[in-house]
Amino acid sequence: MTAPVSRTALPLDLETMRACADRLLANDTDAPRPGSLETLTLHLRGRLMLVVPEVETAALALPEDSAARACASFCIGEARLRLSASARGAHAQRLARSVRTLCDHYENEDHECPTAPERAAYLCMLLHCPACPDCRAVDDDGEAIGSCVTGDRLYEEYRQARRGGPGPRERPPTAQ
């Protein structure tokens, strides 16, 4: 989803952004020390602040009914929620996942997060959750506090689809 770069803007350094995120998400390394974790979290926040507007600009250029646009918009919203939340617990890992996902969206305009039955289940969640006030409710720390039976069911169907289990009961109109 490489957006046209203005004459005053520098191109995004996706390699560095991904490396920063991968440092935190790597399973084969020890957890960063507290001081290092704070620095890494600040780097991730800064990188999200750079990539979000770029991905948003590129996403808005896609057709309104495009699954890639819907997916990018959802990921942008999720990244903004993570940016507004206070840093604690697994917050840095969530920021790192958002950085990686938005780099993928920026690099490839047709990027759609999951595939096959997983994608269909994800799109069902994507169509429901952003419009549902219960699904969007968060506390001051950015943690979900809403309770939505439909959102919970769609999330469970998505988890099952990722594991190769049964797919979603309802297909979104934009799923292909």
Model confidence pLDDT, tens digit, residues 6-23: 434 567 888 988 888 888
- Identify which of 47-56, 85-94, 112-121, 166-175 has the greatest average pLDDT: 47-56
Name the residue range of residue 39's domain.
1-112
Q: Which of 112, 144, 166 is the last residue before a domain boundary?
A: 112
Amino acid at 27: N
Q: Which region among 100-104, 130-134, 144-148 has the lowest average model confidence (pLDDT)?
A: 144-148
> At residue 5, does pLDDT exceed 50?
no
Q: For residues 122 and 137, state if they share a domain.
A: yes
- Please tell me the total count of domains within the chain: 2
Q: For residues 65 and 120, state if they share a domain.
A: no
Residue 159 φ then ψ, to 5°: -60, -45
Query: Which H or E element spans position 13?
Result: none
Q: For residues 48 and 129, state if they share a domain.
A: no
| Structure confidence at residue 52 as a pLDDT band (50, 70, 90) | very high
Q: Which two tokens stand for residue 133?
A: 């006030």
Q: For residues 118 and 104, state if they share a domain.
A: no
Q: For residues 96 and 124, state if they share a domain.
A: no
Q: Are 17 and 47 in contact (CB under 8 A)?
A: yes
Q: For residues 18 and 91, state if they share a domain.
A: yes
> At residue 175, does pLDDT exceed 50?
no
Q: Name which of 159, 161, 155, 157 is nearest 115 in CA terms.
A: 161
| Structure confidence at residue 125 as a pLDDT band (50, 70, 90) | confident
